[in-house]
Structures are given as C-alpha cells and as structure tokens.
Structure 1
Amino acid sequence: MNAETGTGEGPVVTAVTRISAPVEDVWRVLVAFDQYAQWHPVLSLDAKPEQVVVGAEIPGRVAGGDAPEQDVTMRIVEVEAPRRLVWEGGSLAAILGRHSFVLTPQPDGTTEFTDSEEFSGAAAAELIPALGRLRKEYARYGAALHERVEALTPPGSGTG
C-alpha cells in the first residue's frame, strides 16, 4: 500500500500517537462525541456515546482550522469496540473521507492511536498537495486526544 494513495482509490493521511493510558480509557474519550468541543481543536459533534453503532449519523461542525467553518455529518460504517471506529463524511461528487481510528494496546499498558483518513471522489486528487499540512493537523488532533485522555486517567491505571 502506498502511503500517499492508500489503496489506490485516493490520497491518505495518517498520524500515530502514543497515549499513556489503556485502550478502554482512550476509547471512552474517542466515542464521547458530545465532549469533542472540550478537547478537539476543530471538531464539535452533537451525539452521545450510545450512538456508536453502524449506520448512525453524527452531526457536527468544523471550525477553527484552515478550511471555512462548515456543518458536517459523519456516518459510522464500522465499530469494533474498543479497538476500531470508522466513519465517512462528504460525497463522491466532491470529496468523501473515510476516517478510521485504530487503538492498539501496547505491552507497557499504553495505547497506539492511529488516526487515518482516505479520500475519494471527484475532487480527491486536489488534496494531494495538502497532504503534508493535513498530516500535521491530524498529529495535532492526536496530541489533543492524548492530553484529554491523560487528564482523565488516574495515575498508575494501566501504564508502567
């Protein structure tokens, strides 16, 4: 798989963050959609954790990034609690993003958080020049999740 184009369908952005907390603690923050505005740099969502089911539509708003402020709706397409969450947003007529979050437990009790998005659709190729900037943004999102999880995780709960 090519890091720039993923499966060949479109460009891909991936960022990996190590979080000093067990997978279950990271998952709890990741799926607490109604809390995103408290920690995520650009995304606020209007849904509850009980809506983490395939087919659920999660409305939200992107604001504060490089792109203009806009309403968004993500549709959950895959859930493997507490290890994997995948949602899609956008449209094939322009750009469709398939965003995956993978939580991998590490032997030392920490979690490797992989945030990846593959873009497809009529205008997806236009994102290729912006992939470097997007990678930095996704790393910033991972750092914000890291900070939030560690702030909520009691010291010594699974790391060592």
Structure 2
Amino acid sequence: MRSRSSSVKDDDLSNVLFDTWLTARAAIALLDGALAGTDLDAEDFAVYSVLRQAGEISPGELARWMSAPATTVSSHVKRLVARGHVRQVPHPEDRRSYRITLTDAGRRAHTTAGRDFLSALATVEAALPRPARDVQQALRDLHAAIGAAAQQA
C-alpha cells in the first residue's frame, strides 16, 4: 500500500464514507498484489467467488451484487467468456435473458488464485485488533447503511 502524503492529516479527511473508500482501495491493491501471479485480479476473484457459490446467476443479480450498472457487468461477462472461464446458459424462465456460470477452467483459476487470497486474508485477520467476525458485522452494517442512503438519494 502506498503511503499517503504527510501534508494531509488523516483527521482532516476522516469520515465514514472517505475512510470506506480508502479501505476499499487498499484492499483491492493488496489483493491485486497477492493475486499477481494468477490469472485473476481482485475484482475477478470476487466475481468468480460469487459464481462458484451461486452455481448460476443472472446478469441482473450479478449487477446488484457488484453494485454496478448492467453495462459494466455485461462488458465484464464478455471478457470472462472470451477468457474461457465463464459461459452463458439460457435462462430457464426468460428467453430474452441468460444465466452465467463458471466453466471448469474458471473453477481451476479460482482455486489456484484462492491459495494466494487465503494467504492475504490470514495476514489481514492476524493484524486485526478485534475478532474478524466483529469487523465483518460492522462492515455489513456499513453496507446496509450505504444501501439505505442510496435508496433515499
């Protein structure tokens, strides 16, 4: 992680949303570095993890999970399909839509990257000043609050 300029004091910028942004950027940088020797970056690994857990997911469900516009998800899916890690299957209830699933190659890439992810995760969890489950709950609460604020906007 790059250090921030000493001319800007943390207290001058500190608020829940800015601190969340800083934390998210630091987490992505850490994971991108940890996964550098694999076929996946931090965002890919997260998407593959969701696909692996879900089995199949619609682009709309993936967009909601990623908090991303449908166009972003569509271009992301196209890239993963071209890579051979994801395939599109017809939606059983909506002929205009499709569902997304990992291929065997995608599952292998996720498993390989998972080893490096788990190493980074263990390092972060060991450095936490409180139990990981408590931090996760605080993050879930924060995510819910941001979602509620977005609904009001």
* TM-score, normalised with respect to structure 2: 0.30
**Could you say which structure has the higher strand fraction?**
1
**Could you say which structure has the higher helix fraction?**
2
* TM-score, normalised with respect to structure 1: 0.29
The structure showing larger relative contact order (alpha-carbon pairs under 8 Å, at least 6 residues apart) is 1
